């Protein structure tokens, strides 16, 4: 066998490797429903131990109870707000106290709001900035040191196609997701040689309760959710699993996912 053939065989073998997620510990914010809950369910099926955060205690506990019904699934559910520094600090502390490690950090919690800038509600703007940017930063501030201490782990951000293409009435939301991308890229540069991988996923239209909470008009909802086949939360969860299962030498940093028939941003 030539050196070239041997190298090709080694490369092929490495390409077939998948990282085993069993026994890993993942911290997921915004896990009460939608994409966060779907990620939690998908990871539980891979044997991942889960520390989950969400604002609504009853919704979070319902998910935790559903997950614990499967033998071997370990879940820590701590209701709270990602804007609350004490909550985030406690979430990380209790996760480490229970399992002694954190392997996956998913700062998923996010808010939406759609309105023309000249008519916007400043209180809703502040909520967007606090949840989508400050909450992400708090999660990183307390969640990153355990990953760096072990020189391993993976951070998965949930951004949006809106970070790439800005539309009328969606400027402030787009700005927060542009900020997420900037934070993610800076973090990648800071930790990539410390053994930690960083990914930001940018979904297009996803059918969740997000559109209701963000105040989308009925006409816009119809165009987004009925005139095309939107993605589901499970689609995004599968993408997260795909990213996490890549071999250690592979880092998927940016992943844009649109419905196959989505034309507009």
Angle in degrees, CA 204, 208, 211, rounded to 5: 80
Q: How far, in whole angstroms, is CA 195 from its chain's centroid?
A: 19
Q: Is 173 a catalytic residue?
A: yes
Angle at 11 between CA 8 and CA 13, to 5 degrees: 110
Distance CA 251, CA 198 (A): 7
Q: In sequence order, which residues have a C-beta less than 8 Å from that of residue 201 and are 6 or more positions away?
A: 156, 157, 158, 159, 236, 239, 240, 243, 255, 257
Query: Which residues of the chain form beta strands (DSSP E)?
Result: 25-28, 49-54, 75-79, 104-106, 153-158, 196-203, 254-257
> Out of 113, 134, 142, 173, which one is annotated catalytic?
173
Burial class (CB in 10 A: 0-12, 13-18, 19+), 166: middle
Q: What tokens appear for 256 in the block?
A: 């844009």
Nearest to 161 by CA among 261, 262, 238: 262
Q: Which residues are catalytic?
A: 173
């Amino acid at each position: 066998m030539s050196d070239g053939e041997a190298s090709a065989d080694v490369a092929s073998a490495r390409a077939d490797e998948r990282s085993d997620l069993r026994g890993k510990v993942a911290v997921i914010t915004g896990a009460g429903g939608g994409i966060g809950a779907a990620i939690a369910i998908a990871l539980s099926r891979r044997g991942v131990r889960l520390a989950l955060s969400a604002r609504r205690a009853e919704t979070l506990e319902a998910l935790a109870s559903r997950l614990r019904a499967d033998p071997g699934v370990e879940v820590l559910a701590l209701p709270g707000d990602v804007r609350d520094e004490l909550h985030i600090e406690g979430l990380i502390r209790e996760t480490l106290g229970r399992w002694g490690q954190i392997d996956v950090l998913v700062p998923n919690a996010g808010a939406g709001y759609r309105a023309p800038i000249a008519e916007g509600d400043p209180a809703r703007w502040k909520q967007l900035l606090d949840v989508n940017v400050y909450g992400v930063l708090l999660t990183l501030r307390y969640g990153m040191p355990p990953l760096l201490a072990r020189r391993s782990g993976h951070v998965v951000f949930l951004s949006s196609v809106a970070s790439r293409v800005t539309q009328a009435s969606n400027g402030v939301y787009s700005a927060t997701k542009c900020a997420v991308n900037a934070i993610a890229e800076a973090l990648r540069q800071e930790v990539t040689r410390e053994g930690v991988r960083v990914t930001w996923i940018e979904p297009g239209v996803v059918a969740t309760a997000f559109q209701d909470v963000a105040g989308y008009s009925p006409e816009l909802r119809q165009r987004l959710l009925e005139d095309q086949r939107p993605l589901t939360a499970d689609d995004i969860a599968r993408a997260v699993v795909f990213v996490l299962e890549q071999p250690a030498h592979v880092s998927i940093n940016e992943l844009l996912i649109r419905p196959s028939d989505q034309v507009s941003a």
